[in-house]
Each structure stands twice: as C-alpha cells, then as structure tokens.
Amino acid sequence: MDSDDALVGRLLSRREAIALLAAAGGAWAGWGTAGARPPAPPGMCVARPRLEEGPYFVDERLNRADIRSDPADGSVRAGVPLQLAIHVSRMASTACTPLAGVLVDVWHCDADGIYSDVRDPSFDTTGKKFLRGSQRTDAAGTARFTTIYPGWYHGRTVHIHFKLRGPATDGRSFDFTSQLFFDDAFTDRVFAQPPYASRGPRTVRNERDGIYREGGSQLVLAVTPDGPGYAAAFNIGLQGV
C-alpha cells in the first residue's frame, strides 16, 4: 500500500476528471490516441494505477529508442512494428505539467513469449538484450520507442512493462512501475499474421489475467495503423513528484 508521502498512480474520480477537463478548456479530447504523437497538453493528464514489476526487469540502462535488436550481434526480433510514445506529466490539484528528464524503461517478450537477459525454466537468454531500452522524456514529457507488437506466454495476457524514474521536486527520487495492455480483439487480428500465427491460440485473455484485473482496463493502448505496423501513445499522470 502507498504511504501518504509516496509516489501515487491511481484512477481519477469522476469529480477530478471533470475538474481536469475544465482546466484544460476541453481541449483534451482525442489526446493519447495512436499516431498523433502530440506533446502533453497543458493542464491535462490522467493518473494510472501502479502494477507489479514482474520477474523479468533488468536494469540494463540501454539508452536507445529502437529496442528491436540485440546489441551483441545486431539481430532483430521478428514481429509487427510498433511505435510507442509515453507522455509523462506531474499532476497537482487541477493542473498537469509535462515532466522532462524522466528515465522511461520499456521491456517485453518477443513474438515467441521470450524475454531477453533472463534465465527461466523454459529458456535462458542471459547476455541478450533484445526488446529492452530506455529514453529520457523530452521537454514535452514524451519518450518514444520503436519495438514490435508483443507475443504471449502461458499465464499472462499480452502486455508491455514500463518503469519511470527521476528526481522529485524536493530532491527525492521516484520510481513508478506499471504495465500496458491491448484490446483482445485487436490482438487476435495481429496474431493472425506471421510470426505470431504459428504459435496457435494464446492461453490467457485480458479478463482472465490477475494483473489486468487490478486496473488493466485503464492501461489499454489505443493502436492505429502506422506504415507497415502500428502506433500507440499513452498518458501517465503522476502525483507526489
């Protein structure tokens, strides 16, 4: 449970959401949808729930926007391209301001459900670093990544992990970790394509995933076509930073 002075990610109440929309002058409509990639609008953001880090986080400090390759040999993981933008803002009272300089880590499995640089009962990828990377948010509070649509593995629905780290206004550091999800019907269409189709039906969909049920419906990416693949953007509003 979060302490009173800890960083908090939570769902907005209806009253808070209305207040934030009023502060933004109603200009927020459509922000956070894929493809547009706008800077964080002044006075508007949406708080999101913190979800567990999971067993596969590795603090690689890989400063790169394109996370598809393995730096050791240059090989690129097969999969449908995904352009991901994460917008980070500080939420206080009824105003939100972009947070620049936040370290954003992103990591997820490949099309076969495998993570890099970990030892698991079903695989050992120690030393590999595919589908991992970090970027600092720019002046608009945005970090961008080029990756692939994640695959699936037994026991979990399709997801992307992310972690936000940076200094708070009073000098304390903060650490906020959560996960992003995808609409099941959209994933079904993506997984009908290679290389995903060869794996057969996935075993867990969103509503059967225990972590998704802790607030994942508020963390679903809106995905739209983008060239040969897809694009998505997501807003994160943080309190206590």
In order of their start, the domains of the chain are 14-238 (2.60.130.10)
44 or 126, higher pLDDT = 126
pLDDT exceeds 70 at position 30: no
Highest-scoring range by mean pLDDT, 8-17, 19-28, 214-223: 214-223
Residue with tokens 């499995």: 109
Q: Provide the sign of the torsion angle of the four alpha carbons 218, 20, 25, 179, taken in this order.
A: negative
d(CA 118, CA 63): 19
pLDDT exceeds 70 at position 100: yes
Give the mean pLDDT of 154-164.
Answer: 97
pLDDT exceeds 60 at position 28: no
DSSP labels, 116-166: SS-EETTEE-TT--TTEEEEE--TTSEEEEEEE-----TT--SEEEEEEEE
pLDDT (tens digit, 9 = 90+) per residue, 129-148? 999 999 999 999 999 999 99
Nearest Cα residue to 146 out of 65, 71, 235, 37 = 65
Taking the model in full, what pTM does it have? 0.83
User: Residue 233: pLDDT band by 50, 70, 90 thresholds?
Assistant: very high
Residue with tokens 């600092």: 136
